[in-house]
Amino acid sequence: MKTLLLTACAVAALALAAPGLAAAQTPTAAPTPAEAKAFVDAAEAELMRVGEYAARVAWVQATYITDDTNWLNAKAGAEANALSVKYAKQAARFDHTTVDPVTRRKLYLLKQAIVLPAPERAGAAQALADIQARLGTQYSTGKVVIDGETLTLDDLDDRLRKERDPAKIKAMWEAWHAVAKPMAADYPKLVALANEGSAELGYKDTGALWRSWYDMEPDAFAAKTDKLWAQVEPFYKNLHCYVRARLNAKYGDAVQPRTGPIRADLLGNMWAQEWGNIYDIVAPPNSPGLGYDLTAALEAKAYDPVKMVKTGEGFYTSLGLAPLPDTFWKRSMITRPRDREVVCHASAWDVDNKDDVRIKMCTRVNADDFFTVHHELGHNFYQRAYAEQPYLFRGGANDGFHEAIGDFVGLSALTPTYLKQVGLIDQVPGPEADIPYLLRMAMDKIAFLPFGLLVDKWRWQVFAGEVDPAHYNDAWWKLRTQYQGIVPPGSRPADAFDPGAKFHIADSTPYARYFLARVYQFQFYRAACRQAGWTGPLNRCSVYGDKAVGAKFEAMLALGQSKPWPEALQTFTGEKDLDASAIADYFAPLNLWLTKQNKGQTCGWT
């Protein structure tokens, strides 16, 4: 899964607004509508001025990790956090003031633009920023030694894709998870500081703050995610049952039992969040397969990382969106530099809140990164589409929207229809390839859903004090078994902090957005295919080159966060609520096939 440096920059910009504005907004009388609008206008003007500086500091640190850039980023973050809390409190002063709808929305967004609010007491913001810097650096510079060879996470990822020796797989998995052990001492301190700051803003804890971002009450949002999971859980369990049987056939009972949970490291991904890398193990027996190998096709067509990004750009421009600016190609980090430490986790950036958009990737020529390129560019094209909105509306309708835009395009970009359109394959395979294709897609899209849900469920428990630090790891694996049906490859050390082996925990990036994005992307995709008049199997639809679809798509993007997400959703899809039925529609043939394959199996893992 990939992340977006959007909230962090917005928070930094918000927090650096001049203290003079704060002093001017403390009248003793009840605030008037005019005062509310003046507050918002002044805040936006200041945010526009300082936003670019905050983003540039973060960019330099992410692409050139040193003690000095860490220090600079931590200092900027501390100043940002301290002031952002003050501005959120000032916005709350106008909660009962009658204002126009635009001002009301801006006040709402000002109150929400904080991920980890620091307490106002002296030194707290710097302490929180220092912890965040340490956790992020520990993750991004983490390396392991296996058989005398020093390996990065990228190296481990490459090996996990292909390694089928369970002993070697286990060694790699355990080595990377050990990288997170030093984070265990800092994480409770981060939780305590963020909760103290959240309480000052009127939230019971930081988890409640995060759940308040979705134009509904925090508890209603938690219930919404549970309802969506209930829609897709039966299909996930069907997939789990089939994959477990194939792993059992491959490795035998001693490595992977025929019943119960799946051993996490055997699923081809360091976090068992996506399983597509082991498709060779689970491919339908006696089937013709996909009919092509995308990684091999990229290599055969002499693709390099830049050509992959150019191809991704071409999808968006085929819909009628404007090409990326020249500065994108000059300033993006498209491959891993060999002379310095960087944050390799792929992300999309809007540096000047206008036209200086970039991506940061350690791109490799393979099928996964082909998808990732289309995904990350979705953020950039979204950023450009809402660039004419007022500053506070320059964001996604919610964070799940921002992730779903590129994933929707990625769904279309992985179809054999599109691959033929751009010349990567010579012919589209026949209908006999549909089940293999849908199974390969489900190994990533469906397999991810419970992981996308549980990461923040774990943090919500931690922030709420339902789990003490001594049991952080136990709670993590309890949720992973409950939702994913997986277990670690062996007993975990008493000092393990396995959540920290995931970037978004170390980086404090909220994760519910990725669960939402899995739902939104299929809603977007189904709606786009209907608009295009597609009548064949949904998994074969490509809207590449359809400018009528592109016009409606861009109309949704241009709204930014000026409207609540149901209105933005309706603009493109005609629907006003999250609905996982589009997932069921897309994968319906596969679900029937899996049910037949699982006949006689004991499915589930409890």
3-state secondary structure 371-436: HHHHHHHHHHHHHHHCCCCCHHHCCCCCHHHHHHHHHHHHHHHCCHHHHHHCCCCCCCCCHHHHHH
Q: What is the pLDDT of residue 77?
A: 73
Rg of the chain on CA atoms, in Å: 24
- Mean pLDDT check: name the lowest of 314-328, 340-354, 379-393, 487-501: 340-354
Amino acid at 591: N
Mean pLDDT, rounded, of the chain: 91
Q: Is the pLDDT of residue 256 over 60?
A: yes
pLDDT at 570: 97
Please compute the mean of the pLDDT values over residues 384-403 and round it to a whole number.
94
pLDDT of residue 86: 76
- Cα separation, 379 vs 4, whole angstroms: 8
Tell me the β-bridge partners of 4: 348
- Please, are residues 383 and 350 in contact by the beta-carbon 8 Å criterion? yes
Bridge partners, residue 359, by sequence: 348
The mean pLDDT of 424-449, rounded to a whole number, is 94
* pLDDT in the model for residue 17: 33
Encoded tokens for 41: 């206008």
Q: Tell me the two tokens of residue 515.
A: 């669960």
Tell whether the model's pLDDT for residue 578 goes beyond 50: yes
- 341 pLDDT more than 90: yes
Task: Determine what percent of the chain is predicted with pLDDT higher than 70.
Answer: 95
Higher pLDDT, 413 or 524: 524
pLDDT at 3: 36
Q: What is the pLDDT of residue 114?
A: 84
For residues 212 and 189, what is the distance between their CA atoms, to the nearest angstrom?
A: 23
Crossing angle of helices 472-479 and 434-463, in 10° steps, is 150
Asked if 312 contacts 374 with a C-beta cutoff of 8 angstroms, the reply is yes
What DSSP designation does 319 have?
A: T
